[in-house]
Amino acid sequence: MSNGSLESWLYPSSTEQNHTKNLNLTQRLNIAIDVASALEYLHHHYDIPVAHCDLKPSNVLLDNNLYAHVGDFGLARFLFAATGNSNYAQSSSIGIRGTVGYVAPEYSMGGDISTQGDLYSYGILLLEMFTGKRPTNDMFTDNFNLHSYAKMVLPHRVMEIVDPQIIMEEEHGSSKTGQSSEGKVIEECLASIFQIGVSCSAEGPRELLIYFMLVYINVCLLYAYFSASAVSLSAVCNNSASATLTPSPI
């Protein structure tokens, strides 16, 4: 892909840092929607559902327009058996290595491969995108991980852990437009995103369905766009709940 991987944008190399390579809030939201759309397609629109099993920033590729595409299906599995709640599962995850920090904890114990494993990886990816912290960062030890790091600041202290690059980009944009009131809107939007990431990366059953996650992220994006018009989040939710989302190509 012409713009490389999401990882190269989140963590540019020493040579790349000399060039402008930052993702603003809206771009990150769009990438989050693209990846969620791809997962929703894999899980629900094939005759046989597919679990990716290795979702991480280096496997999210960005094209010329910064549309995100999920790649590297080397560990992907077809899910032939169905369990309750339309969650498709394969007999065992033994032999599925995944990537440390992103692989669902139940896989390390030989649990079933399922769409929920991808949901866990997506939650970690989402938290990483908006904190700028890898799940393998040295600050995370024992029971303190990226999930708990984000959970502890919800819902009112999210700005303490946001990737500084996002703040710099948004402050630069606000100074141009003079819209100082956008700060509160951005904080509320980020709180919603972190809540999705925390819900998806919880250990145990993950009840948040991909479809509703897509709608929720889209609501946050609309809220950011229309902040200047003082549209309430509840009003946007009511008007957007039935919106049709078109997945980007995988």
User: In whole angstroms, what separates CA 31 from the centre of its chain?
Assistant: 8
The residue assigned the tokens 């040579």 is 15
The residue from 34, 47, 54, 142 that is catalytic is 54
Radius of gyration, CA atoms only, the chain: 18
CA dist 67 and 89 (Å) reads 29
CB atoms within 10 A of CB 21: 15
Strands 68-70, 60-62: parallel, antiparallel or unpaired by DSSP?
antiparallel
Closest CA to 28 of 146, 134, 165, 161: 165
**Residue 2: C-alpha distances to residues 61, 64, 67 (Å):** 9, 5, 11
Specify the long-range contacts of residues 10-18, CB closer than 8 Å, at least 24 apart.
10/57, 10/128, 10/129, 10/132, 11/134
* 142 is known as an active-site residue: no
CA dist 172 and 222 (Å) reads 20
The residue assigned the tokens 């769409």 is 115
The residue assigned the tokens 């250990």 is 203
Active-site residues, by number, are 54
